[in-house]
Amino acid sequence: MGYQNEQTIFALSTGLGRAAIAVMRVSGAGSQALLARLCGRLPAPRRAALRRIWANAATQDNLLDEALVLWFPGPNSYTGEDGFELHLHAGPAIIKAVAEALVAGGARPAEPGEFTRRAFTNGRMDLVEAEGIADLVEAETESQRKIALAQSDGALSTLYQGWAEQLKRALAHQEALIDFPDEDLPPEVEQGLLQNIQSLITAMQAHIQEGARGERIRQGVVFAIAGPPNAGKSSLLNWLADRDAAIVSPIAGTTRDAIEVSGSLAGVKVTFVDTAGMRETEDEIEAEGVKRALFHVKQADCVLQMFAADHAPESVFAGAILIGNKTDLGQVPATVLNEPVMPVSLKTGEGLDALRAVLERRVEALTAQSSFGAPLLTRARHKAGVQEAVACLQAALEQEWPEMRGEELRLAMRALGRVTGQVGVEDLLDAVFGQFCIGK
């Protein structure tokens, strides 16, 4: 996207379809003149006012709607520019007519994420906070809402900025050692510097380790349902989905490809993947299904390993929750290979409430924070930047030459700066803001 800050942009911030209100958002240098063109007298800043909306208020030509108007003069606005909102009646004809009037007044339709991109460019937020807003808009569960809100509110940025400040102080100490080599500086100065670098490494590594939990909250915990044919895997998926998502048949090998359904457990997004029955087969299509099933098992955060009451497995996937189905037909063992078994009957419903409780506890364990209140890393981009900073700091500790140690500290600062968008991110901006919806 060719970013043109001087242009005035507009977009519908609310969804299309039947609704009472539609919010049209406008931002750019021409906003004040454009608002005056539409409604004449401007309202007081940041106060809602009822106005008639015209194609041209000066001539009172073509009344379009009567709407609430909010005027946001920059820099105290979302984008940092002059802007306004029109809270219109949501009829498609009204929206179309107002959009045409905005174009006639010199504005153009916004591209995805352009409002937030302008806010970033104008210093209203950094890149991490902007990504938090994107996640907040997409949040489906309570845990996603909380983590996105904390990120958009600056919790993660504050952590990274704190590390950057510590790096600045470390670099200042390092440069003092370089600039005053003949001064009789006590050895504690260099020892303290090295200790501070090691403390930063420890903190960053802990943050990276917690990142797996943050990514699970943002993207969802994945459960793979695995086991032999006719163990009840598709029936379990249908129960978890509360609908007929998969075909249930007594014929072995009915499920050939993975079927995914998403939902929520313990306030966390979850995805359940029903896989093909695992067995030796000469059928090429079924064999491919088994191969894909093993792939999903390896990729999953947790495996739900199913078996029928009278067919206990000979091996258990690491960390799997063992589910013995068909208790209505036979006795399910309490353990298999010293691992506990959840006895259920998908036909009668026996044990299903207990199974749901076990799944919720597993989700909580996979997403719980070990450091109370510490902001979680949620994106691969952030993880890569922090990992790069750690590598630079580790290299700094290994350097014998003070000048080279100082250079590694600068590279670590640059890596963190790329995460927050303070340095060298022009190549990233289209990718980051292109994921936003239009109107945000």
Give the number of other CB atoms < 10 A from CB of residue 182.
5
Does pLDDT of 1 surpass 50? no
Q: How many domains does the chain have?
A: 3
- 64/166 same-domain check: no
- For residue 406, give the nearest of 193, 175, 161 by alpha carbon: 175
Per-residue confidence band for 57, with pLDDT thresholds at 50, 70 and 90: very high
Q: What is the pLDDT of residues 299-309, one digit of tens each?
A: 999 999 999 98
- 360/299 same-domain check: yes
- 261/136 same-domain check: no
Instruction: Give the per-residue pLDDT at 211.
Output: 84
- 90/161 same-domain check: no
pTM recorded for the entire structure: 0.75
Q: What is the pLDDT of residues 376-392, one digit of tens each?
A: 888 889 999 999 999 99
Average pLDDT over residues 234-258: 67
291, part of any domain: yes
Among 338, 367, 396, give the residue marking a domain's end: 367
Instruction: Give the per-residue pLDDT at 203.
Output: 95
More confident residue, 105 or 3: 105
Kindly report the CATH number assigned to the domain that includes residue 272.
Answer: 3.40.50.300
- 232/352 same-domain check: yes
346, part of any domain: yes
Does pLDDT of 106 surpass 90? yes
Query: How much of the chain exceeds pLDDT 90, in percent?
Result: 57
Label the pairing between strands 21-27 and 302-308.
unpaired
Instruction: Give the per-residue pLDDT at 249.
Output: 47
Does pLDDT of 193 surpass 80? yes
The residue with tokens 């690491």 is 318
Please state, in angstroms and as integers, the Cα–Cα distance from residue 95 to each residue in 40, 78, 221, 336, following that order.
19, 22, 40, 63
Residues spanned by the domain of 288: 221-367
Annotated binding-site members for GTP: 230-235, 249-255, 274-277
Does pLDDT of 4 surpass 50? no
Instruction: Give the per-residue pLDDT at 2.
Output: 39
Average pLDDT over residues 253-268: 78
Instruction: Give the per-residue pLDDT at 188.
Output: 66
Instruction: Give the per-residue pLDDT at 214.
Output: 86
Annotated binding-site members for K(+): 230, 249, 251, 254
Does pLDDT of 411 surpass 80? yes
Separation between Cα atoms, residue 323 and residue 345, nearest integer Å: 10
184, part of any domain: yes
27, part of any domain: yes
Kindly report the CATH number assigned to the domain that includes residue 29.
Answer: 3.30.1360.120
More confident residue, 264 or 427: 264
- 274/298 same-domain check: yes
Q: Per mean pLDDT, which of 51-65, 279-293, 398-412 is the most reliable? A: 51-65
Average pLDDT over residues 355-363: 95
317, part of any domain: yes
Among 319, 346, 367, give the residue marking a domain's end: 367
- 17/91 same-domain check: yes
Average pLDDT over residues 4-10: 80
* Backbone torsions φ then ψ of 324, nearest 5 degrees: -95, 110
Does pLDDT of 415 surpass 90? yes
2, part of any domain: no
Kindly report the CATH number assigned to the domain that includes residue 401.
Answer: 1.20.120.430
Annotated binding-site members: 25, 85, 124, 230-235, 249-255, 274-277, 440
Does pLDDT of 232 surpass 50? yes
Average pLDDT over residues 416-437: 76
- Mean pLDDT, the chain, rounded, equals 87
Average pLDDT over residues 62-76: 96
Q: What is the pLDDT of residues 139-180, one digit of tens each?
A: 888 888 989 999 999 999 999 999 999 999 888 888 877 766
Instruction: Give the per-residue pLDDT at 439.
Output: 67
123, part of any domain: no
- 403/306 same-domain check: no
- 295/398 same-domain check: no
Out of 112-116, 252-256, 359-363, pick the least confident: 252-256
Annotated binding-site members for Mg(2+): 234, 255
Instruction: Give every strand in the sheet of 61-72, ordered side by side.
Output: 49-56, 61-72, 83-89, 21-27, 9-12, 108-109
Instruction: Give the per-residue pLDDT at 356.
Output: 95
Query: How much of the chain exceeds pLDDT 70, in percent?
Result: 89
Instruction: Give the per-residue pLDDT at 372.
Output: 53
Among 81, 110, 139, give the residue marking a domain's end: 110
- 247/335 same-domain check: yes
- 69/147 same-domain check: no
Annotated binding-site members for (6S)-5-formyl-5,6,7,8-tetrahydrofolate: 25, 85, 124, 440
Average pLDDT over residues 327-350: 92
163, part of any domain: yes
Q: What is the pLDDT of residues 202-228, one digit of tens each?
A: 999 999 988 888 888 888 899 999 999
Q: What is the SS3 assignment for the chain?
A: CCCCCCCCEEEECCCCCCCCEEEEEEECCCHHHHHHHHHCCCCCECCCEEEEEEEECCCCEEEEEEEEEEEECCCCCCCCCCEEEEEEECCHHHHHHHHHHHHHCCCEECCCCHHHHHHHHCCCCCHHHHHHHHHHHHCCCHHHHHHHHHHHCCHHHHHHHHHHHHHHHHHHHHHHHHHCCCCCCCHHHHHHHHHHHHHHHHHHHHHHHHHHHHHHHHHCEEEEEECCCCCCHHHHHHHHHCCCCCCCCCCCCCCCCCEEEEEEECCEEEEEEECCCCCCCCCHHHHHHHHHHHHHHHHCCEEEEEEECCCCCCCCCCCCEEEEECCCCCCCCCEECCEEEEECCCCCCCCHHHHHHHHHHHHHHHHCCCCCCCCCCCCHHHHHHHHHHHHHHHHHHHCCCHHHHHHHHHHHHHHHHHHHCCCCCHHHHHHHHCCCCCCC
Q: Which residues partner with 259 through β-bridges?
A: 274
- Residue 355 carries which side chain, given as an amino acid letter? L
- 181/53 same-domain check: no
